[in-house]
Amino acid sequence: MSTSPAEKYSVPSVDSACRILRAVCESDKPLTMTQITKLSGSSRTTAMRIVSSLCSNGFLLRDENSKVTTGEVMRMLGSRIHNDSDLRQRAVPVLQELAETIGETTHLAIPLENHCILQEVVDSPQLVRVASRPGTLVDYHCSVTGKSILAFRNDLLLPLRQSMEFTQRTENTITNWTDFDAELDRVRQNGYAVDEEEYHEGVRCLGAPVRDQSGTVVAAIGITGTTTRLTKRRLSSVAKLVLNAAQQLSG
């Protein structure tokens, strides 16, 4: 009898932990160990050990009655997912207005480990336009959203110093840390980032960071257009509009 890849590489203890986490998260009230054992299908000994480990790491919490509920880590993750969803919903009308005003494609991106990911995209009303799609991964070093985020997030920047690859997309792509650090300094000074045909030839972009209520940069918005329409002469006025849109989404 053949075994599927998922079954072949399954780790029983991890599977049990996942079932326990799911049971606790789906319950509208704290659970006893008896309930957890029954809902997760684990033995009582296994369930107790897993719950103890999950509590130690902040994923679960024992209340004053020794019942188990979600811990600080799970609540933080839930809050982050909610905030991301809320940001996307609020971003759509802002991106639409920005695209209509400037006449170019606009987008919202959030950071992942080694890339940014486009969460929302509003296409330019122009017949000839630069197309993007939600879910697209973009490089940090040659995108305005990546620059806008890393310029203000040292916690993301420091690990990338050991792992980021400076893939050369065009002749204008930044390909080393010395030049990239100088570019990030310009972003900090100006408050926005510019992509001068660094990702695609004939394409110019401008982006700005979006902050949460604590002031932490959690995303960035950008505008993308052809160099013939989004000219250097327009950058100053476009920057003001993009910064204003980023401000609307912040907080």
Q: Which CATH number belongs to the domain containing residue 237 in this structure?
A: 3.30.450.40
Residues 6+ apart with CB under 8 A from 90: 249
- Tally of domains within the chain: 2
SS3 60: strand
Residue 124's pLDDT is 82
Same domain, residue pair 195 and 131: yes
Give per-residue pLDDT as tens, 177-222.
Answer: 999 999 999 999 999 999 999 999 999 999 999 999 889 999 999 9
Question: Same domain, yes or no, for 179 and 68?
Answer: no
Q: Beta-carbon neighbour count of residue 97 at 10 Å?
A: 15
Indicate whether 1 belongs to any domain: no
150 in any annotated domain: yes
C-alpha closest to that of 222 among 89, 125, 132: 132
Q: Output the six-digit token pair for 134.
A: 């939600």
Q: Which two tokens stand for residue 142?
A: 């040659």
**Which pLDDT score, from 0 to 100, does residue 1 have?**
45
65 shares a domain with 188: no
Contacts by 71-74 with C-beta closer than 8 Å and gap 24+? Answer: 74/21, 74/25
β-strand 217-226 against 203-211: which pairing, if any? antiparallel
Query: In this structure, are residues 41 and 56 in contact, taking their beta carbons and an 8 Å threshold?
Result: no
State phi, psi for 220 to the nearest 5 degrees. -155, 150
Given a cut of 70, whether residue 235 has pLDDT beyond it is: yes
Which of the two residues, 8 and 37, has the higher pLDDT score?
37
71/90 same-domain check: no
φ, ψ for residue 4 (rounded to 5)? -70, 155
pLDDT per position as a tens digit, 90-120: 999 999 999 999 999 999 999 987 889 899 9
| Residues 180 and 59 occupy one common structural domain | no
In a domain, 221, yes or no: yes
pTM: 0.68
What is the band of 9 on the pLDDT scale with cuts at 50, 70, 90? Answer: low
Token reading at 148: 């806008």
Do 129 and 167 share a domain, yes or no?
A: yes
Range of the domain at 208: 85-249
Residue 72 in any domain: the answer is yes
Q: Is there a domain that residue 234 lies in?
A: yes
Q: Is the pLDDT of residue 234 over 70?
A: yes
pLDDT digits 0-9 by tens, 129-144: 676 788 888 999 999 9
> Does 92 share its domain with 119?
yes
Clarify whether residues 91 and 174 are in a common domain: yes
Does residue 5 belong to any structural domain of this protein?
no
Residue 37 has pLDDT above 90, yes or no: yes
Q: What are phi and psi of 238, to 5 degrees?
A: -65, -40
Residue 11: pLDDT band by 50, 70, 90 thresholds? confident
Asked whether the predicted pLDDT for residue 154 surpasses 80, the reply is: yes
Strands 217-226 and 116-122, by their bridges, are unpaired
Q: Tell me how many helices (H) and strands (E) the chain has.
A: 9, 8
167 vs 164: CA distance, rounded Å = 9
Residues 210 and 135 occupy one common structural domain? yes
The residue type found at 97 is E
CA distance 102 to 237: 10
Question: Taking 80 as the threshold, does the pLDDT of residue 237 lie above it?
Answer: yes
Strands (DSSP E) along the chain, which ranges? 60-62, 68-70, 105-111, 116-122, 137-138, 193-196, 203-211, 217-226
Looking at the fold, whether 151 and 96 belong to one and the same domain comes out as yes
Determine, yes or no, domain membership for 6: no
Domain boundary among 77, 103, 123: 77
